[in-house]
Structure 1
């Protein structure tokens, strides 16, 4: 049979139950975990060569599979008994995390059985009664009660509360105190009508369609003191490319935006955009430097944008001049 896959890392406190009992031997025990299934007691003894003269016994724990035709195999850990505490500490310092049979072995001083039992009891004592898993089955003693953390009466109360489903309180209908209040209270039909009215969404007012501006007519509004309208751009120019046209000409750019269509993925450029240059002086410089400039085979147009009021919220929006 080929070698089984390497055992999962285990520690002394987390080791799985095995059929082979650990032999109580004199001396100071050292725990060796994360062993390969192929590691034998002889191989483990050779691994402990730095303290070989102090070795009293070597034991690899064997697990019984519980199935026919499947032989017992290593549980993935073992113990080495040494004659002195100094030798045990030396083995930990020299061999912990060292490799044996392709596995990184965990080497640590084994805890005495009395200390492990004491730690288990302390952990149980720290558990608070009433948490999930601490309540006992009806007729049985809870774990908290067994540890002395709760009285039998408290345990029984906790069990009864867990067994009984919580009942939902029904809200009683409030009655009008006076005849006047009764007359003022809405009837069942009125109440249902009110509820239906609340559920029905209010119809939205249709927006008034914007009338297109005749060709050649200037838009109504005030000229922007910082925004420029740039037209006849190539459809492949994006916001960064539009900004670069101005910065390359020595014009300061606050923001640059290409106007795109509302549909499509990705949304295609409409061939024009707006650039905020921060002031009127920069506007003049940009118009003089870039008007008619050839960009990708197109002579671009640079104009001062117009702030036109919007009908819905009276905010101003930059708009292309008529001569663009």
Structure 2
């Protein structure tokens, strides 16, 4: 480090030199004095700054260690709040390097700041004129980059965008920007040669593609665009923002300070929210109806974004706050819930609104105080979470996996769309008829699986799906699971996940594909005597992982053994509460070291494998061969009761022994049947 006296002398010389250069010959202040320069390695770039840091506090922090010439915190142009990074200029390059070595990763108000030596940028026109030869010509070369707006949603890839311009010249580069995995509706194309780009602009601008007229224009850099949007923006802020654009991508990866959202300060004290509106109501009718409560400033009927029709709700803003309060206080209240078993009438309750002031086209309106957008979103999320907590059967997961009008629908064939539609209808009818059925939180049902895929490959695919989903979230192509979705695993989810990692267990508990023999009966995959039915199951350790796996695998394309492309149909599995209970008991029994208990557990596994087979035979019209849960199978000779069976039932130890013997006998019968079936095959 330089001696203090030499450093002080250099500071004075630098300040005098800067003061001389900052005044023009006419005595005015030159433009260069307003913009901090980054040159000669004297400036550092500081990021991960604590919230609330100002230019003064940044100067004071570094002044404790080195002589600071200038310090600037980069702020947002709209909110004027810190963006979490800034610049500090020193008197000489040695101080800048020493500051980086001494203060990099130093803790400041609980944050570890990161420091890099800033590099100068050659941006000004005067500096460009100094560039000799070919470099100067390249710097002044006109841009051939075009921006295309109003793109149809059928253009999903940059290759499709490039095809629109290939006939006018070579396309060097094309891009479709995305926001959290969704296309923004515009794109960029760079064409070789200015004449070719001009031809493309004239020809494609206004061209109709899938019902949309394209708008093509010359693309400009971000700094120019910001200047066009706001000519009054301060030059110093512009300089700082442009100078940091090269580091924004890297900064975003380690960004700890989120950019604060600008909240709109809206006074809703004179605005009421109205529910149960007639679907034929208009803004004018709503304003006229509430006119007898007081002077109405405006009235709006909420439109459903999906159908573009009234949603049955609206807002009414009064001129006077007292009119709004009076309207809310005198409004009819929602009837309290009645006792269970009492049926409600579908007719309108005439006693709900005796005065008739709140009845519009035969519907009694519900009026409440309006809230801002953020509070409304929080209320809706909390209400949704409460409703789903009451849904013990998890029926809300029936819609998970539906494609709707998503971009995936355009990739499916008509047969695949019909298959998905029929599946959704059948699943809904199934759970409505049988109250013992519920939707599993961790088990997925997959269909349309290639016939050559086995359980091992399916388990590997299930593990890969969660990893790829996380990558897509990091790169902004997908939305992460919401707080409400993460909370479904329970309060001890973190402890369970920590315990899983300590035990070095995977996130996939089981992957299974159903196989059948030549007669259509279920067989084990390990037997090697069957073929795949094209469907299977995946069980994850948590609902969060299952949700990530479903959203990645649903519609995921796989290659079949015959070269045919197949897209998976993935949904949360429907389970029977009784079967799940038996499976859990079998798992507990299997953990015990006793041999007899292990045999009983194996028998229960075989039993669960046979029960679905019997259901399938009933659907095909075949007579089932007995019930494995009750007595011997039909066609088998029942064993005569042993002497003293009645007395043995009274003895718990002997009764347990008898049950185990029966289970073992059944197990042998099942194995014998399978051996006969394999011999015939």
TM-score scaled by length of structure 2: 0.21
Q: Answer 1 or 2: which has greater helix percent.
A: 2
Higher relative contact order (CA 8 A, sep 6+): 1
